[in-house]
C-alpha cells in the first residue's frame, strides 16, 4: 500500500506534468486495451529517457514493443539520426500506437520487425560487424526466453553499453516462497514466468561480463552495463 501511494505521488508530482504529449496520448490510448498492464509505467519511461540521454545512445534495440510506449520514449530520447531495431510477434499491437509515433515525427528512427526475436538476434550475431554495435538494448518480451536473449544481446551491446531487462520483479511474485505454488498448468504464465525471472536474476548477479543495478521502478528493471 505504502509503495503504491509513493508511486502515485511520484507519478503525479514529477512524471505526468513532464510527460511529453505524444506519450500521454499513447498511454491513454493503451489504457483501454485489455493488455494495458504490459506497457511500462510512465516513471519507468522517464528513467529510460534520462538514461538514454546520459549515455548519448544512438543505436538501440527493443525486444517486445506492444503498443509502443517504451519504443516512443526511446525514439523521443534519441537524436534525429538515432535508430531502434524493434521486434514483436504481434504487429496489431504496434499498429495501435503507430499513428501517434508517426505524428510525433520519430517513425524514421524505427525499424520494426514482426516475428519472434530469437531468429533476428541469431542473424545479427552471425555477422561479426554487429558485435558491440548497440548502445542500449531493452528486453521486454517472453520472460522464459530471457536467458536465450542474454546469450545473444551480450554480444551485440557494446562494452560500456547497457542492456535493460524489464519485469525483473514479476509482479512481486519473485518473493513468493520458491517451493510455494508451482505452475498449475502449462498456461500458468504468472508462475512459469516467475520461475524464469528468478533464474534470470540468479544468472545476472554472477555474470562477470556485466555490472548490474536492479531498480524497483515499474515492475522492476535490471540495468546491465557490459564490462568486457
Ligand atoms: N515494451 C512494451 C511492452 C511489451 S509487452 C511497452 O512498454 O509498452 C511484451 C511484448 O512481447 C508483447 O507485445 C508480445 O507480443 C511480445 N512478444 C512475446 N513473445 C515474443 C517473441 N518471442 N519475440 C518478440 N516479441 C515477443
Ligand atoms: Ca514490461
Residue 139: which CATH number?
3.40.50.150
Residue 2 pLDDT: 74
Residues with CB under 5 A from ligand 2 (ion): 140, 166-167
Q: What is the pLDDT of residues 100-144, one digit of tens each?
A: 999 999 999 999 999 999 999 999 999 999 999 999 999 999 999
Closest ligand 1 atom to Cα of 38: 5
* pTM, to two decimals: 0.96
Q: Is the pLDDT of residue 1 over 70?
A: no
What is the pLDDT at residue 55?
98
Tell me which residue of 68, 59, 65, 76 sits closest to 136, measured CA to CA: 59
Helix/strand/coil for 137: strand
The pLDDT of residue 185 is: 73
| Torsions phi, psi for 35 (to 5 deg) | -105, 25
* Strand intervals (E) in the chain: 59-63, 83-88, 110-114, 134-139, 157-166, 210-215, 221-226
State if residue 121 touches ligand 1 by the CB under 6 angstroms criterion.
no
Measured from the CB, is residue 139 less than 6 Å from ligand 1? no
Q: Is 38 in the pocket of ligand 1 (CB under 6 A)?
A: yes
CA-to-CA dists, residue 74 to 41, 106, 112, 172, 175, angstroms: 14, 10, 14, 26, 30
Q: 140 CB less than 6 Å from ligand 1? A: yes
- The minimum-distance atom of ligand 1 relative to the CA of 39 is 8
Cα dihedral sign, 216-218-220-222: negative
Bridge partners (DSSP) listed for residue 222: 165, 214
* 93 Cβ below 6 A of ligand 1: yes
| Nearest Cα to Cα of residue 218 among 149, 172, 175 | 172
Nearest protein Cα to ligand 1, atom 24: 88
The tally of CA atoms less than 13 A away on the side-chain side of residue 168 is 26
Question: Residue 70 in 3-state DSSP?
Answer: helix
Residues spanned by the domain of 72: 2-226
pLDDT of residue 208: 97
CB 68 within 8 A of CB 40: no
Question: Three-state DSSP class for 211?
Answer: strand
For residue range 4-53, what is the model confidence (pLDDT) as tens digits? 899 999 999 999 999 999 999 999 999 999 999 999 999 999 999 999 99
Tens digits of residue pLDDT in 167-218 = 999 999 999 876 667 777 777 788 889 999 999 999 999 999 999 999 999 9
- How many distinct structural domains can be found in the chain? 1
Amino acid at each position: 500500500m505504502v509503495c503504491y501511494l509513493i508511486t502515485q505521488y511520484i507519478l503525479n508530482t514529477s512524471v505526468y506534468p513532464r510527460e511529453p504529449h505524444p506519450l500521454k496520448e499513447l498511454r491513454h490510448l493503451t489504457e483501454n486495451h485489455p493488455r494495458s498492464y504490459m506497457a511500462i509505467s510512465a516513471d519507468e519511461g522517464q528513467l529510460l529517457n534520462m538514461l538514454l540521454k546520459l549515455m548519448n545512445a544512438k543505436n538501440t534495440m527493443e525486444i517486445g514493443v506492444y503498443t509502443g510506449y517504451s519504443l516512443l520514449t526511446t525514439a523521443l530520447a534519441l537524436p534525429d539520426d538515432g535508430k531502434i531495431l524493434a521486434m514483436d510477434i504481434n504487429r496489431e499491437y504496434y499498429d495501435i500506437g503507430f499513428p501517434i509515433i508517426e505524428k510525433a515525427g520519430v517513425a524514421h528512427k524505427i525499424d520494426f520487425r514482426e516475428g519472434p526475436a530469437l531468429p533476428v538476434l541469431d542473424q545479427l550475431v552471425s555477422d561479426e560487424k554487429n558485435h558491440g554495435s548497440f548502445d542500449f538494448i531493452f528486453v521486454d518480451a517472453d520472460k522464459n526466453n530471457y536467458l536465450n536473449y542474454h546469450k545473444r544481446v551480450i554480444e551485440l551491446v557494446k562494452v560500456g553499453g547497457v542492456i535493460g531487462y524489464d519485469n525483473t520483479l514479476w509482479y512481486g511474485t519473485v518473493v513468493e516462497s520458491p517451493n510455494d505454488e508451482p505452475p498449475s498448468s502449462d498456461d500458468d504464465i504468472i508462475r512459469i514466468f516467475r520461475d524464469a525471472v528468478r533464474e534470470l536474476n540468479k544468472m545476472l548477479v554472477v555474470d562477470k561480463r556485466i555490472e548490474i543495478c536492479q531498480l524497483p521502478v515499474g515492475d522492476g528493471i535490471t540495468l546491465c552495463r557490459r564490462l568486457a
